[in-house]
Amino acid sequence: MDLRGKRVLVVGAAKSGIAAARFLLEQGARVSLSDKRPLEQLPEARELAGEVKLESGGHTCATFTAQDLVVVSPGVPADLAELAAAREAGVAVIGEVELASWFLKGRILGITGSNGKTTTTALAGQILESAGFHAPVGGNIGSPLTAFIPSSRPETIHVVELSSFQLETISEFRPHVAVVLNVTPDHLDRHATFEGYASAKSRIFANQTEADFAVLNADDAVCRNFAGRTRARVFWFSRAEEVEAGTFVEDGDVVFRGPLSGPDPRLWTQTMLSVNEIPLKGAHNVENVLAAVCAAALLGADQQLVQAGVRAFRAVEHRLEYVTTVGGVEFYNDSKATNVDATIKAIEAFPGNLLVILGGQDKGSDYRPLRPLLARRARYALLIGAAADKIAGHLGEAVPLVRSGTLDAAVREAFRLSRAGDVVLLAPACASFDQFQNYEHRGRVFKELVAGLTARP
């Protein structure tokens, strides 16, 4: 793809948009950058002001329709009116992930799902690196995919976390191995319906061929239906039952049943590791390991090196991350639990005695599924942020509620109400944007607040 002299607009000046703009400049494109935020909130964009045409404080249709190509950042709604105008004018509209895929060498392992994708992506990357592959990890985690183009080689396996927002804007993007962990209600404030959200997730298979692999969760109803949406060979993972091809748990072991070599249709079965060797808390992380092991094995990773990679893995920051113990009370940071299903999985990782911090910016969620689990395992639910009233209404009297308002107050109240042996768990079930920049910011603040608890109140 020759972009020299092409007029290319990048929409959104956050991390992936800036990375795309820099790459496009290196390719000799005539780059414009548009963001709805005012210029003073765009420090990285200001650094490019001398090299790109910068539009801030809002978008204009004329800017969008005067391009040869528009590259959309994940945070920009795909149905933006100006994007519709560009399409109507015959301008191609793609995402940063699609742009990167045009130039990357090697193969792509793409991982998506409502929950667990960051842990699974990081784990798969570590397993493949342990097995001797060049396997950079990026996409919706860490660095934008365009940042890996200069170092990509024919033997590279790019391990890519993919959000529904990123998958909305692909056209030719093709993962050699596509993993879908689960699909539960999320981002309904943007996708409007669960069907629309699930459809966006299924786009990961759009360009796969018979030479590719799809790894699906046999325990998830939506994933089972996805099997008919790909031309790739389907492999399953299951914590509940033996599968014909893929990974499953048998007598306490993770077992892989896969191809003898490459496209060879014959299957063989091998024990990969013991479930007891998994260094991550929670049953849902067994599923994440099953998915990562299946993908790595399909890509040719040796069993002993797979085992070593899993053993050495540690929880990703903000995902059931142990923070510290103060006065006999353990604190866990699961700020990445930004939907109800993720919060359920976090709560299920503990037998009881929980004080759970919930709330933030609502994403159109139904919080009622939390009621029975909180009733059994939580002593208190501490509510923060804009969604507090809605959560309180959905939880009713299932668990004693504390209206804390802010995370600072919730940490202090939780510590005051706790006793030795309790666990204070940040698992908000909401987005963070009402009070924080993102879930990472929320998690870091939580850890700072916990670090300030030096004595019993």
- Note the pLDDT of residue 286: 94
Beta bridge partners of 426: 333, 357
Residue 249 φ/ψ region, left for φ over 0, alpha for ψ in the -120 to 50 degree band, beta for the rest: beta
Please list, in sequence order, all residues whose beta carbon lies within 8 angstroms of the beta carbon of residue 50, skipping any fewer than 6 positions away: none
Q: What residues make up the domain containing 382?
A: 321-451
- Note the pLDDT of residue 74: 86
Instruction: Determine, yes or no, domain membership for 444.
Output: yes
- Does 427 lie in the same domain as 330? yes
User: Which class for 62: exposed (0-12), middle (13-18), buried (19 or more C-beta within 10 A)?
Assistant: exposed
Determine the residue type at 99: L
CATH label of the domain that carries residue 399: 3.90.190.20
- Note the pLDDT of residue 229: 87
- Does 334 lie in the same domain as 249? no
Is 3 in contact with 31 (CB distance < 8 Å)? no
- Note the pLDDT of residue 314: 83
- Note the pLDDT of residue 262: 53
Please list, in sequence order, all residues whose beta carbon lies within 8 angstroms of the beta carbon of residue 389, skipping any fewer than 6 positions away: none
- Note the pLDDT of residue 223: 94
Domain boundary among 38, 67, 95: 95
Domain boundary among 248, 278, 312: 312
- Does 297 lie in the same domain as 349? no
- Residue numbers in the chain where pLDDT is lower than 70: 185-192, 260-266, 455-457
- Does 365 lie in the same domain as 307? no
CATH label of the domain that carries residue 256: 3.40.1190.10
Domain count, the chain: 3
Instruction: Determine, yes or no, domain membership for 456.
Output: no
- Note the pLDDT of residue 263: 55
pTM score above 0.75: yes
Q: What is the pLDDT of residues 2-57, one digit of tens each?
A: 999 999 999 999 889 999 999 999 999 999 999 999 988 888 888 888 899 999 99
Determine the residue type at 351: P
